[in-house]
């Protein structure tokens, strides 16, 4: 970042009235294994979550929309979730997410909205809807009804400028950065997801084999710093 004027404010960041949709499904274990870094192992059940969100007001980044794929996996002896890619239509929150937390953020054309009783998220890259999500919210629900998607791992890697290895290689748990949460609405329903093929960021092999319902939640929260779970400290050759 420019030393005289940082591109984005540092945490904590306050969010208000963020709308989330979660759709739970099973994908082929081979699809999960394909996108995982070598330090993670896929879960046998192929459990995945597609997330769409609309953040209309954020203190640090302004408004944006986002879609996320989470996959259940193992890191060492622990079960958790890894996000292979996060799509969003924001300029400042993309470098913040990458540089602070190691979140694999990619710019895309996002549209998140409501069509009658269906919430939808369209993620378009070069004309393809690489991650489409649709869900309903017709049932009463509570936060306790929702799966606990923790730990929420990222792999933060910063290569050396001379090409000789990495300056940083860390497993990060992003689930611990959310605090001061106020939940306004929680609802349950059904959902579907679709993955159109793309020459980049292709998730088409995640075609759902089974669905496990959906949730909608609207809340305020603060995003603080995350936790470094493991620092690999990769030395440069020689």
Which regions of the chain are under pLDDT 70?
A: 234-238
Q: Residue 233: what pLDDT?
A: 75
**pTM here?**
0.95
Q: Residue 113: what pLDDT?
A: 97
Question: What domains, with CATH codes, occur in the chain?
Answer: 13-231 (2.40.400.10)
Integer Cα distance of 61 and 66 in angstroms: 13
Integer Cα distance of 229 and 238 in angstroms: 27
Q: Residue 236: what pLDDT?
A: 55
Q: Residue 238: what pLDDT?
A: 53
Neighbour-count burial of 69, counting CB atoms closer than 10 A to its CB (0-12 exposed, 13-18 middle, 19+ buried): buried
Locate the DSSP E strands across the chain. 13-26, 40-42, 47-55, 57-58, 64-75, 78-88, 105-107, 109-115, 118-125, 128-129, 132-135, 139-140, 152-159, 166-173, 178-189, 191-194, 210-223, 227-231
Maximum distance among all Cα pairs of the chain, rounded to whole angstroms? 62
Pairing of strands 78-88, 152-159: parallel
């Amino acid at each position: 970042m420019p030393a005289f004027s940082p591109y984005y404010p540092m945490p904590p960041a306050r969010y208000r009235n963020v709308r989330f949709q979660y759709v739970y499904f099973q994908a082929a274990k081979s699809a999960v294994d394909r996108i995982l870094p070598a330090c993670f192992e896929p879960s046998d059940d192929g459990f995945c979550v597609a997330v769409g969100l609309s953040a209309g007001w954020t203190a640090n980044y302004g408004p944006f929309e986002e879609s996320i794929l989470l996959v259940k996996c193992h890191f060492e002896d622990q079960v958790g979730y890894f996000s292979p890619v996060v799509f969003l239509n924001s300029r400042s929150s993309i470098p913040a997410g990458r540089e602070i937390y190691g979140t694999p953020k990619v710019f895309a054309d996002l549209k998140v909205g409501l069509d009658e009783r269906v919430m939808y998220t369209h993620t378009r890259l070069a004309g393809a809807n690489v991650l489409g999500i649709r869900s309903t919210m017709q049932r009463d629900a509570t936060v306790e009804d929702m799966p606990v998607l923790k730990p929420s791992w990222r792999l933060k890697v910063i290569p050396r400028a001379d090409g000789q290895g990495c300056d940083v290689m860390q497993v990060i748990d992003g689930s611990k950065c959310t605090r001061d949460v106020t939940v306004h609405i929680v609802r349950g329903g059904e959902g579907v997801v679709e993955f159109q093929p793309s020459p980049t960021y292709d998730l088409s092999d995640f075609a759902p084999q089974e669905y496990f319902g959906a949730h909608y939640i609207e809340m305020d929260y603060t995003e603080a710093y995350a936790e470094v779970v493991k620092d690999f400290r990769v030395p440069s050759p020689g």
